[in-house]
A and B are shown apart, each in its own frame.
Chain A
Amino acid sequence: MPHDVIMPALGMAQDTGHLLAWHKKPGEAVEAGDILFEVETDKAAMEVEAQSNGYLTDVTVEAGVDVPVGQTIAVISETPDGASRNPAPPAPDVAPEEPAGIEGNQVIMPALGMAQDTGLIISWAKKPGEPVSADDVLLEVETDKAAMEVPAGFDGYVAGIFAEAGENVPVGDVIAVISAERPVSPVSHSAIRSNGEAPEEPTPSASAKATPPPAVVPKVEKPSPTVASVSGKILASPKAKRLAREQGLDLERLVKIGARQPYHVADLETLKSQPAETAPVPSTATAASRRVTAEVDATELISLLTWLSSELGHPVRRETVLAVFAAAALRAVGAAELVIKTEARGISRVYLDPDSAGLGHAKPIETDVAPSLIVRDLCGTAVSSVQLGGELTPVLSVLGRGETLFITCECPSDTLSGETTLALANGFAERVADPLRQLL
């Protein structure tokens, strides 16, 4: 791909450079880094290196001439005769925004520093169609070192603008065309192709004059820049972060309520005083869950079931009694209307306030109401430990091994507090271990 050689800006306040001498002859092979020519500014003489490999062609400026900064003075081509410049490879049909063909002088992204590859367009000072004079500021460019205003360089009208503010454009790329006549249909579009390809090398200005004016070029919508996620990084003191982590507090919530960053330990008090997050939607089922386990002796429960069955004259299911204990334990931690669902050997039953019916008398009901608590009787299964997580409802699982029952209480952290979870698990375990507690 041929590369324009432009007069670089070697100083901040430099308008022109005096081309002292060419170090390469037209048609000569050059390598990136070779001294290409020598420039004198008001401060010093400097050697300018070639930025790419190829052949020096299309030398338009002789030594001894003052050249405006940014003007193309030669081309580094792929062949010694610069042929690759001419018929550019047939442009794909999908590139109607090519700046080719707009009559006028091309404005290119200037090299404002020696080691600069691209320039970021901060803003355009002129709109397409507006008249400009050579000294008018046309646009503002930011390099890695500084922001600079770039003059139009030509008198006339802005016939086309080919890069939008915010775009990073390779040095030497055509970014605008200034025409002598007021343009009939000024053009403005982004240099960024929708297919993401690098912009095509601009066609030479000389041949552009001969090209008929193009049809109105459709403006290519540039995808709006992604707004950096605000929640990406939270500014907080090391201590505040540590305490938040230790206490399970989420600093994101301070961001959400609009508290000003950075956060300090004092802000954690604000966070603690916030009401708990609203009821989670099912998708938040992965919220951190609490898990408490207990281990109790099964003897008393077994004798109770035996006694109840003989007393009532029909077998009493273990899960029914467990549902009663669970309801009582949950009520003891402050719950009211209780819907307890039992799951045992693949069968689910739902009880409403089973503890008020009395042991052995609780009857399953038909309801669509979501259970307040699930009791999972896993006795007699091969399961030896439970940690399912992701439950939406507190779950009490009971596993049996020999004369010992293992009780696991799991619940999402936004349903019951840690304290309540502990009290629930403990209340349930105590009732299972000592059913008299329930009878009395």
Chain B
Amino acid sequence: MTREITLSKAVNEAIAEEMRRDPTVFLIGEDVAEAGTPFKVLSGLVEEFGTDRVIDTPISEPGFMGIAVGAAMTGSRPIVDLMFGDFLYLVMDQLCNQAAKTHYMSGGKLKVPLVLRTNMGATRRSAAQHSQSLQAIVAHIPGLKVAMPSSAYEAKGLMKTAIRDDNPVVIFEDKLMYQDKAPVPEEEYLIPFGEAKIKRDGRDITLVATSSMVQVAEEAATTLAAEGISAEVIDPRTIVPLDEQTIINSVRKTSRAIVIDEGHQSYGVTAEIAARINEKAFYHLDAPVIRMGAMDVPVPFSPALEDLTVPTAEGVVENARKICRGELVHAA
């Protein structure tokens, strides 16, 4: 049986189910208990699990992140709620120097089964310090897994897998998608990491898109279909580990690819995936692989400007048309 629920509700369900199943799972962060986070994702959890397992902290990200890393090393399975993805910079040492490296540096004796759930995404008029999409920064660090759910279905399945994973996992939810509904099974399910989902079959071009950009790619694919261009849409779901094979197989079929992610374009997720396509499907490419990330600028507060900085379906359509027609976007 499936029903339509919001992404917010899906995350809430995933955490509640896992907390019921495993008493070592607990939540920690700012405004997670009474407030249930600014996006109300966690509302109702403190009533069920109490303040011992849903812990409000002072405003000190390095503090509660450090507590969580230590708790994870000593047998708990903490879920850290980082109110905005932009605050990742505050927990870099705890996350990248400690959580990511402890298993390796202890020769496998210590595990850090920790979930850092945070968010990403612009166009919420939150200005430069509350709008960033920083997945590339953590994906760069060996020892961290990175999940990017693109719908309520993915959000629930990936969260449950993350909680059960013995490694630190960072989950980025798109702030603007919390109220988006999608069919979610009532029965329990998990989504394995490193398994991409082909959201739409196509033969002319592959659109690899993450998180919020999956919607953008699907909208572009619909427009392109009307013009006779058949686009395949692939959602990697986790960027670490990355399901390279599904992407490569698709590009071998279509010979063309556009990679779309809401992080800044330079040195970003799009660059990494494009590079892998070039390396592993070079002789199947009939056009250069195009990256479409956010502009390399601080996210503007001005709504008119902010909207210009992120990839749009129109932009994807335009690039797809060009490369399908054999017009090099940048003729050599």
Measured CB to CB, the residues of A under 8 A from B are: 235, 237-240, 242, 262, 264-267
Contact = CB atoms under 8 A, between A and B. Distances in A.
Contacts of B332: 235, 262
Contact of A265 (B282, B286, B328): B286
Interface in B310-332: 326, 328, 331-332
Given A235-B332, A239-B255, A264 B283 contact: no
From B282, B285, B286, B287, residue with most partner A Cβ within 10 Å: B286
Contacts of A267: 326
A244 to B, nearest CB: 12
B140 interface: no
8 contacts: A235-B331, A237-B285, A238-B282, A238-B286, A239-B284, A239-B286, A262-B332, A264-B286
A234 to B, nearest CB: 11
Nearest to A263: B326
B283 A238 contact: yes
A267 B283 CA distance: 16
From A237, A265, A267, residue with most partner B Cβ within 10 Å: A237
A402 to B, nearest CB: 46
Nearest to A241: B283
Given A238-B282, A239-B284, A266-B326, 17 more contacts: A235-B331, A235-B332, A237-B285, A238-B285, A238-B286, A239-B255, A239-B283, A239-B285, A239-B286, A242-B283, A242-B284, A262-B326, A262-B328, A264-B286, A264-B326, A265-B255, A267-B326
Nearest to A265: B286
Contacts of B285: 237-239
A238 B326 contact: no
Contacts of B284: 238-239, 242
Contacts of A237: 255, 285-287
Contacts of A262: 326, 328, 331-332
Contacts of A242: 283-284
Nearest to B278: A238
Contacts of A266: 326
Interface string B246-258: 0000000001000
A265 B324 CA distance: 11
Contacts of A235: 331-332
A184 B283 CA distance: 66
A242 B283 CA distance: 6
Nearest to A237: B286
Interface in B277-293: 282-287
Interface string B138-154: 00000000000000000
A249 to B, nearest CB: 15
A264 B283 CA distance: 12
Nearest to A239: B286
Contacts of B326: 262, 264, 266-267
Nearest to A266: B326
Interface in B194-220: none
Nearest to B285: A238
Closest 10 CB pairs of A and B: A264-B326, A237-B286, A239-B286, A242-B283, A265-B286, A238-B285, A264-B286, A238-B282, A238-B283, A239-B255
Interface in B62-96: none
Contacts of B286: 237-240, 264-265
B147 to A, nearest CB: 32
Contacts of A264: 286-287, 326
Interface string B36-47: 000000000000
Contacts of B331: 235, 262
A235 B282 CA distance: 15
A175 to B, nearest CB: 36
A240 B284 CA distance: 8
A380 to B, nearest CB: 49
A264 B331 CA distance: 13
A242 B281 CA distance: 12
A111 B255 CA distance: 50
A262 B326 CA distance: 8
Nearest to A260: B326
Nearest to B326: A264
Contacts of B255: 237, 239, 265
B285 to A, nearest CB: 5
A407 to B, nearest CB: 37
B312 to A, nearest CB: 26
A264 B285 CA distance: 9
Contacts of B283: 238-239, 242
B323 to A, nearest CB: 9
A264 B327 CA distance: 9
B205 to A, nearest CB: 13
Contacts of B328: 262
From B282, B284, B326, residue with most partner A Cβ within 10 Å: B326
Nearest to B252: A239
A235 B326 CA distance: 12
A245 to B, nearest CB: 10
A92 B332 CA distance: 49
Nearest to A240: B286
A263 to B, nearest CB: 8
B305 to A, nearest CB: 34
A267 B282 CA distance: 18
Contacts of B282: 238
Nearest to A235: B332
Interface string B233-267: 00000000000000000000001000000000000
B163 to A, nearest CB: 43
B18 to A, nearest CB: 46
A71 to B, nearest CB: 44
A238 B251 CA distance: 13
Contacts of B287: 237, 264
From A235, A238, A265, A267, residue with most partner B Cβ within 10 Å: A238
Nearest to A245: B283
A268 B217 CA distance: 30
A1 B111 CA distance: 73
A262 B330 CA distance: 11
A266 B283 CA distance: 15
A23 to B, nearest CB: 45
Nearest to A233: B332
B257 to A, nearest CB: 12
Nearest to A267: B326
A264 B324 CA distance: 10
A15 to B, nearest CB: 39
A267 B327 CA distance: 12
Contacts of A238: 282-286
